[in-house]
Amino acid sequence: MTGFAAAIATRTITDSSLKRTSFLRSVPLWYAFFFVSGFPALLYQIVWQRALFTLYGVNIESVTMIVTGFMLGLGLGSLLGGTISHYTRWPLLGVFGVVELLIATYGIFSLNVFHWAAHFTAGSRPLETGLVSFTLIVLPTMMMGSTLPILVSYTVCLSRNVGRSVGALYAANTLGSAIACFCAGFFLMRWLGESKTVALAAGLNALVGATVLVWLFGIRGWQPSRIDSAFLPSENFATRDSDRPNRSTEISFASAVIAAGIAGFVALGNEIIWYRLFSFATAGLAKSFAFLLGAYLAGIGTGSLVSNRICKLVSKPHALPRFLVGAVLGANLLGFLVGPILFNLVVHFSYLWTLVPIGFAASCLGVVFPLLCHVAIPPEEHVGARMSYLYLSNILGSAAGSYLTGFVLMDILSLRDVSMALTLLGLGLGVALMPMARLGRTRCIFAVLGALVAALIVVQGSESLFHSMYEKMLLKGSYVAGAQFAAIVENRSGVITVTQGGTVFGGGIYDGRFNVSLMSDTNGIQRAFALSFYHPNPREVLMIGLSSGSWAQVIANHPQTEHLTIVEINPGYLRLIQRVPEVASLLQNPKVRIEIDDGRRWLVRNATRKFDVIVMNTSFHWRSNASNVLSTEFLQLVRQHLNPGGVDFYNTTDSNEVMATGVRVFPFGMRLANFMVVSDSPLQLDRRRWLDVLSHYTIDGKPIFDLSQERDRRRLLEVTSMAETMDLDVPGFYTLESADHIRARTAGLRLITDDNMGTEWLQ
């Protein structure tokens, strides 16, 4: 520790062996700093993304804007860090400490800043709100992105090996981030919620920053007049021939920048594919993103450690470029196989086992960047700045890969085709890098032919490898060979599948059925017919969520409804609805207006719209982002959009916490089956009114009940008999429960808020 402190505090140490000794002694502590720094970075990402999705919506535009902001901030930060590492007169370790304190300061106030910005931009145009959310993310991520070039510059001056320095630092930071992801998924988000998780992250940043600065300025007594020894290029960057890559085998820096960008593009494109598959297989669990990202980062970190070892042990001039080419080719072939391995694993094992191939493929990707830095950057005084350009290119390529894969390619190609295209691009990069490996003419020809054969196998074998992938991921242990969905819709908003029996699954979880008949109620459609029971005149209705269109078809044909506004986040449902005669007329109904948007964001942007009834047949309360439409904050937003006497009618999916939240936000309400009916005014329940409306109810001109038939008359009375079950201990799904009864039954239960996110992280 003493040698390490001396190396950063004085300019009088010039003996290279002493510096190497101090470096080796300092390795555990030094990497521990960067490891701990990586832990809060991913906690911020998980919480900030979630908080901004709550404020600005979770549709694909918001997701793309926020993810791009993260990536671009890291890229710009790398440039900033590279500039600082070259020109600052401060000790680089001190700069790192200051940056950590700045991140901690932003972090502790970040959620308050986000909420202020959301209030400030409420009702603004999409471009304005997008720019605000983009700025909120870019500023702190620039600080995060600046630390790697700063620390690489410092470490290279001690280790005199670019690949080892980049590999070890990259590994320490990404492994810290990977552990943070798993901690967040398993317990942090569940125990602490958003605000306390951010407070923990800020505390860790502050601890690292304060420890570094106290050590540097307090214990070692560094003075501004004393120049950091890291800025003595003639001494600190003097290197042995065996440590410096042979110039004749180096890739040009411009080529390395391009290669770093392409590698980043392919890596993040693959991550988007893997996340879609993993999320579908886990039915959209909130922790899916954290687990997938944790496995991905653990793989990247492990690969970086491997590259560190390679750079330490391999000294032959042509060997490292060959390792680089092999890593690029191997990573892309493995990345292509992750999908088939994943959806075959879930048929027989827990979904957690599918993280193994993801981590293994990511480890191959993790080898590439440090090796590329090693063969393209000499260990000299400009190493931090040069590395920052490679890092920027890699980050920009990653952002482009995320954007083009998730926003463009997935809207025009199937997942199989997107995976195939990314693999071919990656194999092409490997072929382009082959000349630098100096394989010789014969070996090079065989290597190129091998890559072409691999590409041909990818193209020809993709159809069989990806066959029945969604059936396997949905049915899992119940899958039998030959099982096939009636319809599959893939787009940038998600994956919708329909079974042969007409059951709709969105993102791998039950989402409804095509049915509008009360005579054969297979989808709980009785609840959609109940508007006239609890509201005397539902003329203006808002529906958040479309799915199969069955509920919308029922409400659009309600005799009293004049206008139905539907907000749906995934336009893919429209393609399904137009194929099904039972609901197809909905798309031509003059009463109906369909908006493609996030429900919460639409309400914020349409602050003046008022409705008699707001209906939300939303998905399970434990799914990712479900609490965005179940929290106290959302219910308060809904209140502002209700006319006098207006009612909010929404699905609880049998969650007592959801019920408790509803009757504590609204003074009046009840449970109807597994739905909540809540209002600021007393409910006007009327069985006779409901009976009369149902007697005259038609859909596409066809009566719901043929009252000339005894069977239909009995069914009508059976449906409306629900009105007589209030607070009675009677069996059956269609029963009523008063608000007072719910309050007494759920006393002491936690209310759902945007901060605690309800039950999302409990599954």
196-229, pLDDT tens digit by residue? Answer: 999 999 999 999 999 988 877 765 555 443 434 4
Residue 733, pLDDT score? 92
The span from the CA of 272 to the CA of 406, in Å, is 7
Mean predicted confidence (pLDDT) in 525-534: 96
What pLDDT is recorded for position 571? 95
pLDDT in the model for residue 9: 30
Burial class of 514 by CB neighbour count within 10 A (0 to 12, 13 to 18, 19+): buried
Q: Which of 68-82, 451-465, 592-606, 629-643 is least confident?
A: 68-82
Mean pLDDT of 176-203: 95
Query: Tens digits of per-residue pLDDT, 254-297?
Result: 899 999 999 999 999 999 999 999 999 999 898 998 999 999 99
Determine the average pLDDT of the residues in 41-56: 88
Contact (Cβ atoms closer than 8 angstroms) between residue 71 and residue 402: yes
Higher pLDDT, 119 or 705: 705
Q: Could you tell me the pLDDT band of residue 233, with boundaries at 50, 70 and 90?
A: very low
Q: What is the pLDDT of residue 30?
A: 64
- Residue listed under structure tokens 């809207």: 411
Q: Nearest-5° angle of CA 503, CA 662, CA 613?
A: 65
Provide the token pair at 170: 């990259």
Interval 446-459 mean pLDDT: 90
Lowest mean pLDDT among 41-50, 220-229, 417-426, 645-654: 220-229
DSSP 340-408: HHHHHHTTTS-GGGGHHHHHHHHHHHHHHHHHHHHHH--SSTTHHHHHHHHHHHHHHHHHHHHHIIIII
pLDDT at residue 239, as a whole number: 42
Q: Each residue of 544-575: pLDDT tens digit? A: 999 999 999 999 999 999 999 999 999 999 99
Residues whose CB is less than 8 angstroms from the CB of residue 388 and which lie 6 or more positions away in sequence, other chains included: 78, 79, 80, 81, 82, 83, 85, 149
Nearest to 634 by CA among 540, 753, 741: 753
pLDDT reading at 133 higher than 90? no
Reported confidence tier of residue 126, pLDDT bands at 50, 70, 90: low
Among 72-76, 310-314, 322-326, 458-462, the range with the most confident prediction by mean pLDDT is 458-462
Token readout for 373 is 């830095």
As a whole number, mean pLDDT of residues 410-425 equals 95
pLDDT at 250: 58
Cβ atoms of 347 and 477 closer than 8 Å: yes
Residues 484/468, Cβ–Cβ less than 8 Å: yes
Is 156 in contact with 167 (CB distance < 8 Å)? no
pLDDT in tens, 420-433: 999 999 999 999 99
User: Which are the contacts of 689, defined by CB distance < 8 A and separation ≥ 6?
Assistant: 532, 533, 536
* β-bridge pairing 675-679 and 668-672: antiparallel
Cα atoms in the 13 Å half-sphere on the side-chain side of 200: 20
Check pLDDT > 60 for residue 164.
yes
Summarize the confidence of residues 509-523 as an average pLDDT: 94
Say what the pLDDT of residue 383 is: 79
Residue 421, SS3?
helix
Tracing tokens 């269109």 back to the chain, one arrives at 549
> What is the arithmetic mean of pLDDT over 27-45?
83
How much is the pLDDT for 149? 84
List, edge to edge, every strand of the sheet that includes 487-491: 487-491, 494-498, 503-506, 509-513
Percent of the chain with pLDDT over 90: 62
651: enclosing H helix or E strand: strand 642-651
* Per-residue three-class SS string for 492-538: CCEEEEECCCCEEEECCEEEEECCCCCCCCCCCHHHHHHHHHHCCCC
Given this model, what pLDDT does residue 241 score?
A: 40
Is the pLDDT score of 627 beyond 60? yes
Q: What is the largest CA-CA distance in the chain?
A: 104
Name which of 14-28, 381-395, 712-726 the model is least confident about: 14-28
pTM (predicted TM-score): 0.89
Beta strands 642-651 and 611-616, pairing class: parallel
Domains and CATH numbers, the chain: 1-238 (1.20.1250), 247-481 (1.20.1250.20), 517-745 (3.40.50.150)
Average pLDDT for the chain: 87
Residue 123's pLDDT is: 67
- For residues 588 and 501, is the Cβ–Cβ distance under 8 A? no
3-state secondary structure of 189: helix
Burial of 744 (0-12, 13-18, 19+ CB in 10 A): exposed
Strand pairing category for 563-568 and 540-544: parallel
Res. 131 pLDDT band, cuts 50 70 90: confident
Question: In which band, very low, low, confident or very high, does the pLDDT at 321 lie, cut at 50, 70 and 90?
Answer: confident
pLDDT for position 15: 36
Instruction: Flag whether pLDDT at 59 surpasses 70.
Output: no
Residue 28 pLDDT greater than 60, yes or no: no
C-beta of residue 749 within 8 angstroms of C-beta of residue 660: yes
Residues in the chain: 763
